[in-house]
Structure 1
Amino acid sequence: MSIKEKLKNYFTVDDEYEYEYVEDAPEEEHEPMVKQKGQNVVNLTSMQQPSSKVVLCEPRTYNEAQEIADNIVNRRAVVINLQRVDTQQAKRIVDFLSGTVYAVNGDIQKLGAATFLCTPDNVDVSGTITDTLMEADDYNKGW
């Protein structure tokens, strides 16, 4: 190439460039990382679950049983103290809540003479309270 051609190419505008429009490919969803042998990698998004809540209730009438059941249906564990309710209404409340717990595949456990724990299926309870502690309780309503 001569100097003349080099200068001509340098100062002239060439429209010989081809412009190619490339669409951005959609981002691929990242699959959760699976722990493999020898790796200590855990996907943090799988570990971040909303914290479970425990609701404490002390009903005074049978009419409050539906509010307690709503908490169980909303996936909250409920501790119920039935000491302020007479025996007949307390039995009705326990029967009603037993049906609610059954409907959500949960569990109901007796913690004391007049105290129950109702849990939905997303709450795991480990351990038991022995019957000897409940027999020694001074306030036993005969359930």
Structure 2
Amino acid sequence: MSFVNKFMQFIGLAEEEEKIPASQMVKEAEEPQNDVMSVQRKGTVVNLHTNKQVKVILSEPECYSDAQMIADYLRARRPVVINLHKAPFDQAIRVIDFISGTIYALGGRMDKIGHQIFLCAPENVDVQGSISEFLNTKEEQHRVSQTQLR
């Protein structure tokens, strides 16, 4: 019996269920069902081996109005890679602000994977690793090699 049913009975809005002694319940369970067709079960069949393919959306917004389309993809629980190379700097900042708010509201995450390239993943997508560490080490190696050449 669910909590709601118990509460409804308590306040008098639902009829109390008839209590059956345990001895009668055992007798009823022991009686065989002669008619196989009379037994009807309601249930849901769930396939445990589904291979649902997750599609990653690639987006190159050119202005702020393209941000809503990206947010709609995120709301549909699809990961989006955003490349901001085509957007002017002020528009790119506005797009990132809008998308970061969407990501926060959905409980997802946003990772920078390159210069002006971001991976936006909703909560159902698990992102492992970090590319920014690799980028930082490459930049440091480049700087060190440039100073050694001088």
Same fold per superposition (TM over 0.5) = yes
Computed over aligned residues only, the root mean square deviation of the Cα atoms, in angstroms, reads 2.4
CA apart distance, 1:46: 2.2
- 1:32-51 matches, within 5 Å, as 45-48=47-50, 50-51=52-53
Q: How big is each residue's C-alpha offset from its partner over 1:89-134, in whole Å with a ceiling of 9 and x where there is no partner?
A: 1111001000101111100000111100000000001010114167
Give unmatched runs, 5+ long, in structure 1.
Answer: 1-20, 33-44, 137-143
Aligned residues between the structures:
104
Amino acid paired to 1:92:
R
CA apart distance, 1:50: 2.6
Q: Match for 2:67 among 65, 68, 78?
A: 65
**1:56 to 2:58 alignment:** yes
Closer, same or farther in 2 for the Cα pair 1:59/1:26, shift >3 Å? same
Contact 1:59 1:65 in 2 (8 A): yes
Q: Normalized against structure 2, the TM-score is what?
A: 0.62
More helix by proportion, 1 or 2?
2
Q: Match for 2:104 among 98, 102, 105?
A: 102
- 1:1-143 matches, within 5 Å, as 22=35, 24-27=38-41, 29=43, 45-48=47-50, 50-129=52-131, 130=133, 131-132=135-136, 135=139
CA distance in 2, matches of 1:91, 1:30: 47
CA distance in 2, matches of 1:133, 1:85: 27
Identity of aligned residues (%): 40
Contact 1:53 1:77 in 2 (8 A): yes
Closer, same or farther in 2 for the Cα pair 1:133/1:53, shift >3 Å? farther
Give unmatched runs, 5+ long, in structure 2.
Answer: 1-33, 141-150
CA distance in 2, matches of 1:84, 1:133: 27
Q: Normalized against structure 1, the TM-score is what?
A: 0.65
Closer, same or farther in 2 for the Cα pair 1:114/1:133, shift >3 Å? farther
